[in-house]
Amino acid sequence: MPNAPVVVTVAAVTDRGQKRQANEDSLLAESPVYLVADGMGGYDAGDLASQAVVAAFREHVVGDEITTLDEVRDALSAADDAVEVVSGTTKRGAGSTVSGVALVEHDGLPHWLVFNVGDSRVYRHTGSDLEQITVDHSLGQELVDEGALRPEDLATFARRNVITRAIGAPDSTADSWLMPVTDGERLLICSDGLTSEVSDEAIRATLTMSGRPESAAEALVQRANQAGGRDNITVIVVDVVSGGGRLTNDDTTSLRFASLGLGDSMIDDTTIPVRVVV
């Protein structure tokens, strides 16, 4: 790990919303991992599924200053097993999304290992710009990728919340990216209870105008509730204070993709070039 530790300020808020009887979201905001899990399966199942995901990560990842790809993979595997146990106790079954970031070391420098299963998301906010890092595992996103649905129509697509991967489901493969830690960046990890109610532009404006992470997190949840609050809403805001790299107007980088398939033993070293927006 680099000599200077990565210093972050973090705020996490979860809210039942305006329509649901229970909160099936769970979160973990304990160094070196920050994640949101959105449970599925109804009362007494979805909440247990998301809690099982958090428990697996707390056991396998929390406790050290940094973690490793193998530890995150072990946590995902343990979470999948635990959610399958929960599912076996219900008639409807159970599952959970998970999306988050974990602090790792790569080439001697601090990086965020961004991981995702389902339609919870990770965003990166720099300056006044917002970039969605994760890609939803959903029917709507698949139709967009195939060219059968326009991206601008995704928000109003009736089946946009049908997900195609989940922890505890037949396909629980996680996608992941390695992203250099940068001083001054703000990360947002959230369940779809936020993104289904609040547009990316409104999220960007809120993150830009809000000061401390606590203010940003509370404001985002408030906006989702004001827009209808039809689902549980969970957000984590992570600000990098120091210990990361510097971002300049000319910077470009790449997100190094690593497959975290639960059955995989090798890492896919495909490099995906991405422009850093400042």
Residue 252 lies in a domain: no
Please compute the mean of the pLDDT values over residues 185-208 and round it to a whole number: 96
Cβ contact 51:249 at 8 Å: no
Phi, psi of 103 (to 5 degrees): -85, 120
Task: Give tens-digit pLDDT for 203-262.
Answer: 999 999 999 999 999 999 999 999 999 999 999 999 999 999 987 654 434 444 444 544
**Does 169 fall in a domain?**
yes
10 Å CB burial of residue 149 (0-12, 13-18, 19+) is middle
Tokens read off for 123: 């965003």
Is residue 106, in this structure, part of any structural domain at all?
A: yes
For 107-243, strand residue ranges (E) read 109-117, 121-126, 129-132, 175-180, 186-190, 233-242
The 8-class DSSP code of residue 21 comes to: S
Question: What distance in Å separates the CA atoms of residue 86 and residue 217, rounded to the nearest whole number?
Answer: 30
φ/ψ of residue 149, rounded to 5 = -140, 135
Domain-embedded: residue 278: no
Domain presence at residue 22: yes
Q: Per the domain annotation, does 180 fall within a domain?
A: yes
Residue 61 belongs to what domain range?
7-246
CATH value at residue 163: 3.60.40.10
Give dist(CA 206, CA 276) in Å, integer. Answer: 20
Give the end-to-end CA distance of the chain in Å, rounded to a whole number.
26
- For the chain, the domain total comes to 1
pLDDT recorded at residue 151:
72
In-domain check, residue 116:
yes
The DSSP symbol for 67 reads B
φ, ψ at 235 (rounded to 5°) = -140, 145
Residue 266: inside a domain: no
- Give the pLDDT confidence of 108-148 residue by residue, as tens digits: 999 999 999 999 999 999 999 999 999 999 777 778 777 77
* Reported confidence tier of residue 104, pLDDT bands at 50, 70, 90: very high
